[in-house]
Structure 1
Amino acid sequence: MRYVRVVRGIMNSIDMGESIGSNIGRRIVLPTSFIGGPRDMRKRYMDAMALVQRFGKPDIFLTITCNPYWPEIQQELRFNDDAQNRHDLAARVFKSKLECLKNEIIKKQVFGPVAAYVYVVEFQKRGLPHAHFLIVLQPTTKLIEPATFDSFVCAELPDNSVHPLYTALL
């Protein structure tokens, strides 16, 4: 039975186009520098868990999503062109906006002094990037009371008299 499995494995390798016999059955271990590989993902996970162990649970979960209607993207598109078809343009503009957001959070301390943060950039199914941040604030500025949450979080429909454009988009 083992012989049949070995022969079947060799035949599958030949069918897949492998022409060098010494490469059949050779295991390839990707280094942690290979972004997105299992070892890289495990390293990132362990780094994030070390931050939680050292600084405590995150206080803020923040997401930024690339908007295909940002003026910086729209002015560079050609006639009949779409932002989802220009991944290079969307990624460059998004990276610029992401760096500005990091500057606001870390250097300008819009949420307060940051003890630690970690973020990951992903791509949506339509190809546009978005990023997720986990932010740990210094112990003196932790968000404990609901009033402090309300100073950062707002979820409401825009007022038609103040923002008619926003209400027209609804």
Structure 2
Amino acid sequence: MVESERLLYLRLKQPNLRLGKFKQLHECMVRGETNAINTGQRIILPKSFTGGPRYMFNNCKDAFAICKYAGYPSYFITMTCNSEWNEIKREVTPQGLHAEDRPDILCRIFKLKVDKLIKELKRGTFFGKIIGYCLTIEF
């Protein structure tokens, strides 16, 4: 619901947002296309919109910058949320619910566990000193 409200705001405030010039529009002008309906997208999402293409592209550029500074990655660690974790069961079972009924609890507990893992990795006891890291959470 929050995301749909943000999208509605962006759709209604397109003229007021400062989104800059886009390469696609310039290329269309160079090719001589005069029909703006066939050009680009109707609604342009700013790079601050989480999950949008410009947001993802900027995150990718940030990851490349980290790799340029720190070198190629040495480890690729994958962590998956387990709905059978005791912390999750402790919160949902007394209410007579299943883990999939409360995605908010799943997300919070998973985030706590990810933060704990990152803290342990930064401490340097497992793999030595960490120069840089990238973190992606997918739903």
Q: State the TM-score, normalizing by the size of structure 2.
A: 0.65
Cα 1:65–1:43 shift into 2, 3 Å:
same
Distance (Å, rounded) in 2 between the aligned partners of 1:94 and 1:119 = 13
- Supply the RMSD in Å over aligned alpha carbons: 1.9
How many equivalent pairs are there? 100
Aligned structure 1 segments of 4 or more residues deviating by more than 6 angstroms: none
- Stretches of structure 2 that go unaligned for 5 or more consecutive residues are 1-14, 16-36
Distance (Å, rounded) in 2 between the aligned partners of 1:27 and 1:77 = 43
Aligned counterparts, 1:25-104, within 5 A = 27-78=42-93, 80-104=96-120
Deviation at 1:60, TM superposition (A): 0.4
- Letter of the 2:99 counterpart: A
- Stretches of structure 1 that go unaligned for 5 or more consecutive residues are 1-22, 124-170
Deviation at 1:111, TM superposition (A): 1.2
Distance (Å, rounded) in 2 between the aligned partners of 1:73 and 1:39 = 34
Deviation at 1:80, TM superposition (A): 4.6
Q: Give aligned-pair identity as a percent.
A: 39
- Letter of the 2:54 counterpart: R
Q: State the TM-score, normalizing by the size of structure 1.
A: 0.54
Higher-Rg structure is 1
- Higher fraction of helix: 2
Deviation at 1:86, TM superposition (A): 1.2
Distance (Å, rounded) in 1 between the aligned partners of 2:50 and 2:125 = 30
What is the match of residue 12 of structure 2? none
